[in-house]
Amino acid sequence: MRKAKIISAILAIGLSVATMFTGCNKGPDVPEGFDGTVLTFYATYVNQYAQSAYNELIDTYNNGQGKEDNIFVDMTPNPAGVNNLRSFLTGNSSRYDILSVSNMQFKGLAMEEGRSGSGVFVPLDDYLTDEVKTEMAWDQISESQINVWRFNSEKSAADSDMGAKHLAGEGAELLAMPFNSAVQVLFYNTEIFSEMGINMISVAETECGTGNYAKLLPHGYAEYAETYGAPFEGAKLSENDLGESVYKVFNNRIPMNWEELRCLARSFQRENPGKYGYMSEWWFNYGWSVGGDCIGWNSETKKYDFSIGDKDKNFLALNDVTVNGTSYTKGEVLNYEDMKWLRGNAAEYNKIAEDLYELPSMYEAFLEFNRLGIPTNKVAATDAGESGKETVNGYGVAKPTTTNRSREFTSGDSPMLCETTDNINSYDQGAISGKFDIAPLAQYREYEGGSVRTVDGEEYLNVIGANNWTGELKTVKNSEDEDVACCGEAITALSKDASALAIPKNIDPEKYDDAFKFISWACGPEGQTILSKGNTCIPNQANIGMSEEFNDSADRVIENQWAASFAFQNSFVGDWSYFNIETWINGWSGPLNDDVRRGEISLTKFINDYTKTAEQAISTMQIRIKGK
């Protein structure tokens, strides 16, 4: 997965339910005497929180840009996703000129045979003129988001370097435009954090060590010794788990590293026996931070391997390098495919070895995630060490289940939760209203001297300013004598409900141009700013979503909306949307989310027992995702 510089959706809503909403809550009637183009727009996930924003979106277009375009848009909203889009797309003619398609549906629909042959969506690349790109602020939309919606409906030739498969991602045709997006972030309970004596701040990493934050170091969570002094004005002292007088600081604009997350979660548990400090169903930010994934392309067999158990270390680029035809800039992490190519080509590796820094393997990242939920008295893996023989147990800081996540968080039983931003509104309507915020998910980050210490067999964070620990981010010199931070990348997953706008091929071709005019406006700065008022959408454009003006507006439910926009710039679809069907994960994800998470079987045994099952499922997939 190439990055720009940088799950519970209701899908099975039958035709009868979709029909029930047809004609309800639609936009205003077509003006009398209107002689332009009328476009029908089927909008999904228009729930109670988003309805007013969607209405404003359509009204603003029809009364503004639509008049200039001589277009009137008639919207049919649906409160959820629907499973009858295939019938709209493959029939003789579509009932709708513009469709909202979720990332879970997209690849399966894009593979369909339409009225005019391969593909049911109109390719959009030819419509992206320089003028359109300027109007859309195209350079502000992350490459990773655009690539989610790229797909070749026709397969490549059997003798190509990928075999007879559909290409998805970088280099494929753009079939839809990112429109309504939500991402996974870290929700945290501000009331509980305050009770724990934690100082909560929102300071950009670039501001740490400067001005009023001259003594503040770039950590997501850190403890500063009393003798170090207050890291910023107004910081309050409290006692840590060892009874030391410290300044506890949580910065919601910097990702915690792996150690900080588990230590903070355990700190909550020490005061609340039987509860858990963290909860998550998803592992993506752990694997992706170091370039790993559950699948990895094998160029020799022209298929994907199941890569959770791969112990080859990945690489951080210390200089600009090109690997296997992929260009990386300084500070980027190589993707799994290119790491494996280097590992298999010693001569090529030796040419650029000094330009690379080793990061954890996919196996190590996945093991770290799994240990969060595995109880401390149960084995997480039996071959975790360098020798392949070290046995490690779980950390036990996360609840060993994936169910009732939101209830755990909103009840206060877990103060930290990995969940998608489309939950913000529902949380704000409940008992936790005004008592939560969001931050980036954990990222692989190294600090000089390590982040943790062991006292009487227990793990605790090192304290900045105590025992000669500086808390400084670890850096290494590259060949140009520049310091490069030893960090993975902060990458997260889109919600299953994240959607894009597409044009069905089977509408009147004379409407294609006009349909794109509305899509480019709705997915551009004006449309995205309006849609985000429902607090269910993150603007496509980074310069809007990450601006102080936008995040400080009265429309925001939470203080740190910036974290959602930050995550969105570096996000991709989850494994459920890699291929055309979600069920490819069923044979192995169940045991992984149940037996492994509870510590009933070790990750080692899971890999030994289920790799073949996973690879058999993968072998039937006919999609090649460029860069993954």
In this structure, is residue 434 part of a structural domain? no
Contacts of 191 (CB under 8 A, 6+ apart): 412, 435
The predicted structure's pLDDT at residue 26: 43
Q: In terms of residue numbers, what domain contains 150?
A: 15-181+494-572
Three-state DSSP state, 292: coil
Closest CA to 245 of 487, 55, 463, 460: 463
Statement to judge: residues 40 and 106 lie in one domain: yes
Q: What's the pLDDT band for 117 if we cut at 50, 70, 90?
A: low
In this structure, is residue 564 part of a structural domain? yes
In this structure, is residue 467 part of a structural domain? no
Question: Mean pLDDT over residues 66-71, rounded?
Answer: 97
pTM here?
0.93
Statement to judge: residues 28 and 161 lie in one domain: yes
Q: What is the mean pLDDT of the chain?
A: 92
- Name all contacts of 579-585 with Cβ < 8 Å and 24+ positions apart: 579/107, 579/621, 579/622, 579/623, 580/107, 580/108, 580/111, 580/621, 580/622, 580/623, 581/108, 582/104, 584/617, 584/618, 584/620, 584/621, 585/617
In this structure, is residue 424 part of a structural domain? no
d(CA 589, CA 80): 25
Statement to judge: residues 86 and 23 lie in one domain: yes
Statement to judge: residues 54 and 125 lie in one domain: yes
The predicted structure's pLDDT at residue 447: 98
The predicted structure's pLDDT at residue 16: 34
Q: What is the tens place of the pLDDT at every residue in 260-313? A: 999 999 999 999 999 999 999 999 999 999 999 999 998 888 899 999 999 999
Statement to judge: residues 175 and 293 lie in one domain: no
Of 572, 588, 613, the one marking the end of a domain is 572
Statement to judge: residues 49 and 172 lie in one domain: yes
Statement to judge: residues 154 and 99 lie in one domain: yes
Question: Mean pLDDT over residues 403-421, rounded?
Answer: 95
In this structure, is residue 8 part of a structural domain? no
Q: What is the tens place of the pLDDT at every residue in 138-173? A: 999 999 999 999 999 999 999 999 999 999 999 999
Statement to judge: residues 84 and 151 lie in one domain: yes
Q: What's the pLDDT band for 115 if we cut at 50, 70, 90?
A: low
Q: What is the tens place of the pLDDT at every residue in 377-393? A: 999 999 887 667 789 99
Question: Mean pLDDT over residues 589-596, rounded?
Answer: 92
Domain containing residue 137: CATH number = 3.40.190.10
Positions of E strands within 318-405 = 321-323, 326-328, 356-361, 379-381, 392-393
* 186-218 exposure pattern, b = at least 16 Cβ within 10 A, e = fewer: bbbbbebbeebebbbbbbebeebeeeebebbbb
Range among 246-260, 294-308, 556-570 rated most confident: 246-260
What's 176-229 look like in SS3?
CEEEECCEEEEEEEHHHHHHCCEEEECCCHHHCCCHHHCCCCCCCEEEEEHHHC
The predicted structure's pLDDT at residue 28: 55
Q: What's the pLDDT band for 15 if we cut at 50, 70, 90?
A: very low
The predicted structure's pLDDT at residue 11: 30
Distances (CA, A) of 295 to 108, 172, 188, 442, 504: 19, 20, 31, 21, 31
Q: What is the tens place of the pLDDT at every residue in 440-463? A: 999 999 999 999 999 999 999 999
Statement to judge: residues 22 and 171 lie in one domain: yes
Percentage, residues of the chain above pLDDT 70: 95
Question: Mean pLDDT over residues 58-75, rounded?
Answer: 97
Of 544, 572, 600, the one marking the end of a domain is 572
In this structure, is residue 91 part of a structural domain? yes
Q: Count how many domains the chain has.
A: 2
Question: Mean pLDDT over residues 315-340, rounded?
Answer: 95
d(CA 364, CA 370): 10
Residue 13 has pLDDT above 80, yes or no: no
In this structure, is residue 85 part of a structural domain? yes
Statement to judge: residues 540 and 601 lie in one domain: no
Statement to judge: residues 622 and 501 lie in one domain: no
Residue 373 has pLDDT above 60, yes or no: yes
Q: What is the tens place of the pLDDT at every residue in 578-587? A: 999 888 999 9
Statement to judge: residues 361 and 499 lie in one domain: no
The lowest-confidence range among 178-192, 230-244, 356-370, 543-557 is 543-557
In this structure, is residue 191 part of a structural domain? no
The predicted structure's pLDDT at residue 564: 95
The predicted structure's pLDDT at residue 627: 74
The predicted structure's pLDDT at residue 536: 80
Contacts of 204 (CB under 8 A, 6+ apart): 253
The predicted structure's pLDDT at residue 18: 37
